[in-house]
Amino acid sequence: MDYQFPTLKGVPYLRYLARMHRHLLPNWYLEVGTNTGRSLARATCNSIAVDPNFIISSDVIGSKPAVHFFQSTSDDFFSADHTKRLCDKIDLAFLDGLHLFEFLLRDFMGTEKLCDTDSVIAMHDCIPMSYIAAERHWDTKATKSWTGDVWKVVPILKKYRPDLKIEVLDCPPSGLTIATNLDPENDVLDKHYDEIIAEFM
């Protein structure tokens, strides 16, 4: 998929995600961190949704040919190798799981292995709306919105995976980071995972 990043400043991330679906026309879509299903509802293709605690109360299936729900942690999902029993590859993925950088990094690593070189991975919450929102612990009295420290994944990928094309988009409320030029055979992050965690913690 030859994805060009339109310069659309201030487009909310859900609307931008819907544009990505319309432009890329993926066959298989993976979503980690489905929660209420607002982002899953934007997809019209075969979909895989992962969340340890779904709280869906609306129609997120729509016209999709197939939707597979896995109520588990993303670590358990990737280790069980569910996706490879369903499809050859993931064309588009949206990662919006636990807001700690080590979890998003593992989600990225697990997802890239399921992709092809022309797949696209989008990651949410890499532009914190405030210093408090970027803390590793969510102080619900101080802020209603929490991004955690997943922003660290951007400098991690730029340092350890300069082969990737990384775009950080101004999509309210907390940005959208898009990774392309993926390489499912690349094991640099696996080899340096402990080093990365120690460095960025």
Alpha-carbon distance of 93 to 115, in angstroms, equals 9
- Average pLDDT value over all residues in the chain: 93
Q: How far apart are the first and last CA of the chain?
A: 34
Q: What is the pLDDT of residue 6?
A: 61
CB 177 within 8 A of CB 168: yes
Has residue 161 got a pLDDT over 70?
yes
- Residue 7 has a pLDDT of 58
Distance (Å, whole) CA 72 – CA 167: 29
The pTM assigned to this predicted structure is: 0.94
Measured between alpha carbons, how far is 120 from 178 in angstroms, rounded to an integer? 7
Q: Out of 4-13, 21-30, 103-112, 122-131, which region has the weakest mean confidence (pLDDT)?
A: 4-13
Per-residue pLDDT tens digits for 116-140: 999 999 999 999 888 888 888 877 8
Angle of helix 188-200 relative to helix 153-160, nearest 10 degrees, comes to: 130
Q: How many whole angstroms from its chain centre is CA 174?
A: 13
- Please answer whether residues 16 and 92 qualify as being in contact, where contact means their C-beta atoms are separated by less than 8 angstroms: no
157 and 179 Cβ atoms separated by less than 8 Å: yes
Predicted local distance difference test score (pLDDT) of residue 101: 96
Mean pLDDT of 14-30: 95
The set of residues, in sequence order, having a beta carbon less than 8 Å from that of 41 and lying 6+ positions away, is 58, 59, 60, 62
Question: 28-82, pLDDT tens digit by residue?
Answer: 999 999 999 999 999 999 999 999 999 999 999 999 999 999 999 999 999 999 8
Rounded CA separation 69/56 (Å): 11
Residue 52 sits at φ, ψ, to 5 deg, of -75, -15
pLDDT for 3: 56
Q: What is the pLDDT of residue 187?
A: 97
Taking 60 as the threshold, does the pLDDT of residue 2 lie above it? no
Is the bond preceding residue 173 a cis peptide, omega within 30 degrees?
A: yes
